[in-house]
Amino acid sequence: MKLTAALTGLVLLSGLTACSGGAGDTRAANTQPLTVAAYSQPTLQPNFNPFSVNALRGTIGLIYEQLFDFNTAHTGEFMPSLVTKYTWGTGGKAIDLALDNRAKWADGSALTADDVIFTFGYLKQHELLALPVDKVTRTADGVHVTFTKPAYAAIQDLGRTVIVPKKIWAGKDPDTDTNVQPMGSGPYSLGQVTGQQATFKARADYWKQQVPVPQITYVTTSSTNLLTQQLVRHEIDLAYAGIPDVKNQFVQRSPAQNHLWPIYASMKPLMLNLKRKPFDNVHVRKGIALAIDRQAVTDAYNPGVYQPVGPTGLYQGTWSSWIAPADRDPVKPDQAAALAELAQAGYKQQGGKLIGADGKQLKLRILTVSSFADGMAYTQELAGQLAALGIDAAVNGVPSAAYTGDEDKRDFDAIYGDAFTFGTNPYTFYNKMLSKKSKTNVVGWDDPATESALGALAQAAPDAQLAASKPLQQIMLTQLPVIPVAVKGTPYMYNTEHWTGWPSADDPYTTPDPGAISGVFAAKLFLSLKPA
Amino acid sequence: MRRLRGAPFVQRIGFYLIAAWSAVTINFVLPRLMPGDPASAILFKMSELGPVSEQQEELVHRLFGGARGQSWWHEYVSYLNGIIHVDFGRSISFYPATVSSVVKSGFLWTLLLVGSATVIAFVIGTSLGVVAGWRPGRAVDSVGSLVSIFLHSVPYFWVALILAYVFSFTLGWFPLSGGADLGLVPGFTPEFLNSAVRHAMLPAATIVLTSVSGWMIHMRNMMASVVNEDYVLLAQAKGLPGHRVVFSYAARNAVLPSISGFAVSIGMVVGGSLLTEMVFNYPGLGSLLNQAIVNVDYPLMQGLFLIISLTVLAANFVVDSLYVLIDPRTREAS
């Protein structure tokens, strides 16, 4: 049975996932590094250019530092990094950032406002800045940034700007430089890189504090099967990946030491193609939304890793104060109500099939990526539920390249695979999902009321954001441009054999991420660990 | 007569040039028939790992969105031009690393692993085939053929998974994955070589186990038909020692088709054993090819396919030429 279990991963050979983590041992006798499964690909190429999309993980967070971030694993509280405090001015068109005056580069020189001003100018010059920054000027304790339009909604992107030293980067091309000898201000310096790992060594002179983990190794793991074995043997200390049956395969192998913490940072809706009949009919969408048993969907694979989500799309667990009490809970499946809605669109059950006015059965093919076993399981459950209602529903599982291809060509009935990330306020979330200008609005939602609500939310001051998000929540409730199904959990797995002090549901001080999402999260994690 | 002897050689070179051009062109066309585009593939991969900021999204579209911007003809010309100048451009999945540096990083791993495994499998398989085919129907033949047909029908990656589970995970005799221990710098140091060999054992065993039977069955059948030839009977009738009859008369003739097959498989070595490399997380060309396909990385695919097809051509050319030495009949024919 053990064999069978260990081999379940073989079907996932190509459905790789990546992870991160690390464990190091400070005790002199033990030099074992903290090891993080940071990549799902088998090989690496050295690249420590923080502006490159293929920068190796750790480049941001361990070597270079960002300005600040917000703890999205908890209630979105401010997380300082190079910036200790921010103050909005002139209706969101300016912000004052106070720099931590202790900050130093690895060569011992001070990290100053000049470096920050240079970095913004450099990003602008190379068209890498997606923020409406107008000017950055020096102030007594940091910098003053002005924007061409109110930038309240862009605060997190602003905070995630990576600061590089002016003296080194002035002559570099951010598009083609691989920056193989990085010099940053973060707690680690680069050790060595081979084709399958990158090692980071703690800096003895890090400006903020003593670095507890002396060495962190980011490794590649190309199959979930292999990753499971490495996790069980504690060869890997931190990982995030869709492992089949993770509770039995990992947690139960050593319940005292092995931990799983899913973080709900994004929402995965069922997306119907609004340009295709009959999904342009709101009654069809409502009927389908009412027919879905969201709990059963999330239980279809690794129960607990995904959670059912309420109809506004915002996760009721972390966003409850934003949502009216009546709209918080996930919609309960109600077949009668579903059929009533579908009847309004002309679909009636005949012999167990939903037949429309044209005499044809309602047909729905749900596009998803075939190599992700978890995504396939969720989608199959969804399709099964809709088939039980009388819809000719089935899963269309395709390789990821074909998935993005079909998505781009808008060639699908429905998609279950895209997820939308919650930010510090609901703007990014709704904007990516619903704005007609958004590349990820693949369903084709095009609605003037939505555009103006998004515009208002983008410019709303922090204390006005809740009210400004209400019109968008209403659109979700009444129009169902997409059908919220579940929040997607990122299953962080770690063990406490070598290191303790990991963030958890009880103490969610950061997301245990190796730098794939945020360098501030990663630095906070590694600076908070303690030897076991 | 001398000129006549040279003619087939010139013809052969012409044939290889045309084959090379076709391979190069197919390498160009094939990746472009895949669905999807590099920018979406990269964004998709990024979004699986974590939220993608608008900043990153814009960067990706700016860098890779234009991959389909130019006409195919324009791309084809610059591709051919690049090949002439041995410049394959920059990889997309490892951007901004160049294709040549990426290919180079996997080449030696695969050449050593799959190359040595293929030679071992060929030698063992062919030798077993000689023994089995010399006396068809005897115990060695019956048992050997049965076992090898069984092994031949087991999928590659399945053997790989079983070996990994038993010898690495359960018994802990061999490392689970990778090309060498983490923390060792590749180079000609005893520690590194020792570690690399240990890491190569299981993947190599997988390849040998699954491919040895192919060589064996092939050789056994050729051998079985050759032993009934008149010249073998004559050799036996002359009272030559058994080993001489077996090796110099029967096996020497029976092995000829295997040698052509060997040329092809040596060429294929460079393609790597994709699944084996994936199971063992081995940093070779097979893994790179997988990454290139997943990321719709046209330049890297082109570079890898080119290396693969050119190696197949080169190996064939060498064996074709050597064949003339091994088999006298091919010389007479010209």
> DSSP of A136-199, one letter per residue?
EEE-SSEEEEEESS--GGGHHHHHTPEE--HHHHTT--TTT---SS---SSSEEEEEEETTEEE
Distance from CA of A176 to the nearest CA of B (A): 5
CB contact under 8 A, B56 and A53: yes
Give me the mean pLDDT over the A442-461 stretch: 94
Residues A351 and A460 in one domain: yes
* Contact predicate A473/A327, CB 8 Å: yes
- What's the pLDDT at A184? 95
pLDDT above 90 for B287: no
- What's the pLDDT at A88? 94
Chain A residue with Cα closest to B54: A130
CB contact under 8 A, B51 and A517: yes
CB contact under 8 A, A194 and B186: yes
> What is the SS3 assignment for A413?
coil
Q: Strands A258-272, A414-415: parallel, antiparallel or unpaired by DSSP? A: antiparallel
Residues A516 and A478 in one domain: no
Residues A362 and A286 in one domain: yes
CA distances from B138 to A511, B123, B132, B144, B233 (A): 67, 22, 8, 10, 19
CA geometry: angle A74, A246, A383, nearest 5 deg: 90
Residues A220 and A294 in one domain: no
- What's the pLDDT at B321? 79
| Higher pLDDT among residues B78 and A82, named by residue | A82
Residues A259 and A270 in one domain: no
How far apart are alpha carbons A89 and B27 in whole angstroms?
57
In sequence order, what are the residues at sequence separation of 6 or more whose Cβ sits closer than 8 angstroms to the Cβ of residue B325? none
In sequence order, what are the residues at sequence separation of 6 or more whose Cβ sits closer than 8 angstroms to the Cβ of residue B80? B24
Q: Which two tokens stand for residue A214?
A: 């002396």
Please list the residues that pair with A271 across neighbouring strands: A415
In a domain, A37, yes or no: no
Mean pLDDT score of chain B: 80
pLDDT band at residue B1 under the 50/70/90 scheme: very low
How far apart are alpha carbons A81 and A78 in whole angstroms?
10
Quick one: how far is CA A506 from the chain centroid? 21
CA distances from B128 to A399, B117, B135, B206, B243 (A): 42, 16, 12, 18, 14
In a domain, A177, yes or no: no
Handedness of CA B129, B135, B139, B145 (dihedral sign): positive
Mean pLDDT score of chain A: 89
* Contact predicate A271/A482, CB 8 Å: yes
* Contact predicate B37/B88, CB 8 Å: no
Residues A378 and A478 in one domain: yes
In sequence order, what are the residues at sequence separation of 6 or more whose Cβ sits closer than 8 angstroms to the Cβ of residue A303? none
In sequence order, what are the residues at sequence separation of 6 or more whose Cβ sits closer than 8 angstroms to the Cβ of residue B165? A3, A6, A7
CA distances from A389 to A269, A282, A342 (A): 19, 17, 10
How far apart are alpha carbons A450 and B167 in whole angstroms?
59
pLDDT above 50 for A315: yes
Domains of chain B (ranges; CATH) run 6-85 (no CATH), 99-330 (1.10.3720.10)
Residues A386 and A474 in one domain: yes
CB contact under 8 A, B291 and A41: yes
How far apart are alpha carbons A148 and A92 in whole angstroms?
10
CB contact under 8 A, B283 and A176: no
CB contact under 8 A, B168 and A404: no
How far apart are alpha carbons A297 and A380 in whole angstroms?
9
How far apart are alpha carbons A516 and A58 in whole angstroms?
8
- Tell me which chain B residues have a C-beta less than 8 angstroms from the C-beta of A193: none
> What is the SS3 assignment for A316?
helix
Q: Which domain holds residue A159?
A: 50-170
- Tell me which chain A residues have a C-beta less than 8 angstroms from the C-beta of B288: 42-43
Query: What are residue A69's phi and psi, to 5 degrees?
Result: -155, -175
In a domain, A183, yes or no: no
> What is the SS3 assignment for B60?
helix
* Contact predicate A240/A493, CB 8 Å: yes
pLDDT above 50 for B89: yes
Chain A residue with Cα closest to B293: A401
CA geometry: angle B19, B22, B28, nearest 5 deg: 145
Residues A483 and A381 in one domain: yes
Query: What are residue A348's phi and psi, to 5 degrees?
Result: -125, 145
pLDDT above 50 for A221: yes
Residues A441 and A345 in one domain: yes
* Residue A278, preceding peptide bond in cis (omega within 30° of 0): yes
CB contact under 8 A, B279 and A199: no
* Contact predicate B306/B30, CB 8 Å: no
Give me the mean pLDDT over the A39-44 stretch: 83
Residues A420 and A301 in one domain: yes
- What's the pLDDT at A293? 96
Query: What are residue A111's phi and psi, to 5 degrees?
Result: -90, 115
Domain CATH for A385: 3.10.105.10
> Mutation test of the interface with chain A: which of B42, B177, B275, B297, choosing the one with the most A Cβ atoms within 10 A?
B177
Distance from CA of A306 to the nearest CA of B (A): 15
- What's the pLDDT at A114? 95
* Contact predicate A488/B50, CB 8 Å: no
> Mutation test of the interface with chain A: which of B45, B49, B98, B157, choosing the one with the most A Cβ atoms within 10 A?
B49
Q: Which of A385-394, A458-467, B123-132, B178-187 has the lowest mean pLDDT?
A: B178-187
Residues A451 and A475 in one domain: yes
pTM of the model: 0.81
- What's the pLDDT at A28? 39
CB contact under 8 A, B40 and A408: yes
Chain B residue with Cα closest to A401: B36
Q: Which of A387-391, A405-409, A501-505 has the lowest mean pLDDT?
A: A405-409
| Higher pLDDT among residues A459 and B57, named by residue | A459
Residues A442 and A525 in one domain: no
CB contact under 8 A, A401 and B158: no
Q: Which two tokens stand for residue B315?
A: 């190996």
What pLDDT digit, counting tens, does each position of A158-186 carry? 999 999 999 999 989 988 899 999 999 99
* Contact predicate A196/A44, CB 8 Å: yes
In a domain, A39, yes or no: no
In a domain, A7, yes or no: no
How far apart are alpha carbons A500 and A508 in whole angstroms?
14
> Mutation test of the interface with chain B: which of A236, A404, A406, A487, choosing the one with the most B Cβ atoms within 10 A?
A404
CA distances from A416 to A374, A377, A380, A407, B10 (A): 11, 11, 10, 11, 59
pLDDT above 70 for B79: yes
In a domain, A8, yes or no: no
Quick one: how far is CA A328 from the chain centroid? 22
Domain CATH for A502: 3.40.190.10
- What's the pLDDT at B238? 87
The ipTM (two decimal places) reads 0.72
In sequence order, what are the residues at sequence separation of 6 or more whose Cβ sits closer than 8 angstroms to the Cβ of residue A5? A245, A248, A249
What pLDDT digit, counting tens, does each position of A116-164 carry? 999 999 999 988 887 889 999 999 999 999 999 999 988 998 999 999 9
How far apart are alpha carbons B236 and B215 in whole angstroms?
26
- What's the pLDDT at B73? 81
- Tell me which chain A residues have a C-beta less than 8 angstroms from the C-beta of B178: 196, 219-220
When divided into structural domains, chain A yields a total of: 3
pLDDT above 90 for B261: no
Q: Strands A34-39, A215-220: parallel, antiparallel or unpaired by DSSP? A: parallel
Residues, chain A: 532
In a domain, A453, yes or no: yes
Domain CATH for A128: 3.90.76.10
In a domain, A368, yes or no: yes
Residues, chain B: 334
What pLDDT digit, counting tens, does each position of A223-270 carry? 788 889 889 989 899 998 888 888 999 999 999 999 999 999 899 999
